[in-house]
Amino acid sequence: MLRASANALARRASARSLSSVAAKYFPSEPAHPQLVTPAIPGPKSIQLNNDLGEKFDNRATYFVADYKNSLGNYISDADGNKLLDVYCQIASIGLGYNNPALIEAAKSDEMVYALIDRPALACFPSTTYKEILEDGILAAAPPSMSRVWTALSGSDANETAYKAAFMYQHAKLRGDQDFSSEELTSVMDNATPGASEMKILSFDKGFHGRLFGSLSTTRSKAIHKLDIPAFQWPKAPFPKLKYPLDEFATENHAEELACLEAFEDILSQHKGASKVAAIIVEPVQAEGGDNHASSFFFQGLRDITIKHDVLMIVDEVQTGVGATGKMWAHEHWNLTTPPDMVTFSKKFQAAGFYYSNPQLQPNQPYRQFNTWCGDPSKAIIAKTIYQEIVKNDLVTRTAAVGDYLYGGLQLLASKYPAHIKNLRGENFGTFIAWDCRDAGARNEILIKCRDRGVNVGGCGDMAIRMRPTLTFEEKHANVFLQVLEDVLNYM
């Protein structure tokens, strides 16, 4: 406890040395939640949602939001409540609501053309698309990655990466030979050898999307997968680390070694035309419960994939774009060889996968292809987000504010150990989570936080995850920590 307090104080000092970007962006941002109804959703939210439900499946609605009146880190609801938002549209609001830089981008002529003259990008790209990519998505690329294939969502990004992996591996197997007539015929019946028997390996508790290919690699919860056909692709164990990490260093290392061994066993079992074409892994398994592993584990994965000539796809759909205190979470690992592909979406609004090896482009056009191949309007948003991140050093700030927040949660964990367990995400920016006593307690805490003006999300079976914007600062952390303490006091 003493150590936690000292850390917290040091972190507090570091965060304070930065001037407020939020104040610059959002001079009228509320200083604290403003509540006008005793519970959330309030009556107007409920009425609007009931009406919407006659047209659109909205049974997962938390509340109906008034985006016009949302600002910065505060989301307004239909009743006029203003909540501090640390969930942020499932981790996808980067610069805060109604950020003036984004308003400017949205009102630009460039955006108007992108919106109303939407191109089939791979047939009729605009004169400006290269520049939009270079100044935005590609400027933000992970080290060593110089190319991108743009998509529309995280699922789409992952599935196009899978397709690139399958075509790459089959091209290697095929060598200089052309497609055989048997391949050309069989594929029209979805049969081998034209249709692939290769596989994408994913990890227990991983989440990679909900379309048919991505859902086959998603292993988060049964409810995400039930009744949907799935490919017979293998699943490897993901380390189950114990906290605090320094107390369980030996056990955790053994756990990671065992997982690496099991992983390599699976790769060894699939060879040739039915090999594992690629693995996909999240730097932190977000939907699955914010499960972390060490850099040692990820370096081990990379080494084994290279040994077995399997591609490594890092799914940065949720971890990417600064929240972990690095632009891309896998930069924390200092891999000796970079991953083959890195996928992104959410906070960047634009989606796609980065790569560097030109052989990840299939041997002919129209193989990796679709009508839109991305969306310039989202690429313009991504460009603006990236430029604001650089201008305001938002990743460094997020690292510092994350440390501050983590320190505060350490203090609360020492005070309420039954309610804040396995605190994780130290030195990982604001990408922080902890376990509650059980699912019921977790859900109760989420609801009570919301009723006190903080919108926070869960993940996994009993975890609460922090997913604030990159303009979340010490003052917002203080509001959050105070509300959380109030709630835990009553649990």
Distance (Å) of CA 459 to CA 1, 35, 441, 463 = 27, 26, 13, 5
Assess 409 for contact with a copy of itself (CB under 8 A). Answer: no
Assess 177 for contact with a copy of itself (CB under 8 A). Answer: no
Assess 54 for contact with a copy of itself (CB under 8 A). Answer: yes
The residue within the footprint of a copy of itself, chosen from 17, 38, 177, 223 (CB under 8 A), is 223
Is 207 a residue of the active site? yes
Assess 464 for contact with a copy of itself (CB under 8 A). Answer: no
Q: Residue 6 or residue 228: which is nearer to a copy of itself going by CB? A: 228
At residue 135, what are phi and psi to the nearest 5 degrees? Answer: -85, -10
Q: Of 163, 346, 347, 378, which one is the catalytic site residue?
A: 346
The residue within the footprint of a copy of itself, chosen from 179, 243, 248, 416 (CB under 8 A), is 179
The residue within the footprint of a copy of itself, chosen from 3, 17, 38, 127 (CB under 8 A), is 127
The residue within the footprint of a copy of itself, chosen from 135, 159, 316, 388 (CB under 8 A), is 159
Q: Measure the CA–CA gap between 83 and 236, rounded to whole angstroms.
A: 40
Assess 349 for contact with a copy of itself (CB under 8 A). Answer: yes
* Residues 6 or more apart in contact with residue 376 via CB below 8 angstroms: 114, 118, 119, 121, 126, 128, 129, 132
The residue within the footprint of a copy of itself, chosen from 5, 6, 9, 130 (CB under 8 A), is 130
Is 346 a residue of the active site? yes
Assess 105 for contact with a copy of itself (CB under 8 A). Answer: yes
The residue within the footprint of a copy of itself, chosen from 75, 281, 405, 423 (CB under 8 A), is 75
The length of the chain in residues reads: 491
Q: Of 156, 290, 315, 435, which one is the catalytic site residue?
A: 315
Q: Measure the CA–CA gap between 411 and 432, rounded to whole angstroms.
A: 14
Q: Measure the CA–CA gap between 136 and 389, rounded to whole angstroms.
A: 11
What are residue 151's DSSP bridge partners? 351
Q: Residue 43 or residue 67: which is nearer to a copy of itself going by CB? A: 67
Q: Is 348 helix (H, G, I), strand (E, B) or coil?
A: helix
Q: Residue 99 or residue 343: which is nearer to a copy of itself going by CB? A: 99
Site for a copy of itself in 365-384 (CB under 8 A): 365-372, 377, 381
Distance (Å) of CA 132 to CA 385, 439, 456 = 12, 44, 33
b/e burial code for range 359-385 (CB count within 10 A of at least 16 → b)? ebbbeeeeebeeeebbbbbbbbbbbbb
Distance (Å) of CA 455 to CA 46, 85, 410, 464 = 17, 5, 21, 11
CB of 314 to a copy of itself, least distance (A): 18
* Residues 6 or more apart in contact with residue 426 via CB below 8 angstroms: 245, 406
Q: Which stretch binds a copy of itself (CB under 8 A): 216-224, 293-301, 327-335, 459-467?
A: 216-224
Q: Residue 294 or residue 471: which is nearer to a copy of itself going by CB? A: 471
The residue within the footprint of a copy of itself, chosen from 4, 35, 48, 395 (CB under 8 A), is 48
Q: Give the count of residues interacting with a copy of itself (CB under 8 A).
A: 126
Assess 227 for contact with a copy of itself (CB under 8 A). Answer: yes
Is 371 a residue of the active site? yes
Q: Assess contact for 398 and 91: CB atoms under 8 A.
A: no
Can you give the C-alpha Rg of the chain in angstroms? 23
Assess 229 for contact with a copy of itself (CB under 8 A). Answer: yes
Q: Of 207, 348, 428, 480, which one is the catalytic site residue?
A: 207
The residue within the footprint of a copy of itself, chosen from 29, 37, 70, 270 (CB under 8 A), is 70
The residue within the footprint of a copy of itself, chosen from 28, 31, 59, 490 (CB under 8 A), is 59
Q: Of 107, 117, 271, 371, which one is the catalytic site residue?
A: 371
Q: Measure the CA–CA gap between 229 and 44, rounded to whole angstroms.
A: 39
Q: Which residue type occupies 182?
A: E
Q: Residue 30 or residue 125: which is nearer to a copy of itself going by CB? A: 125
So which residues are the catalytic ones?
Answer: 207, 315, 346, 371
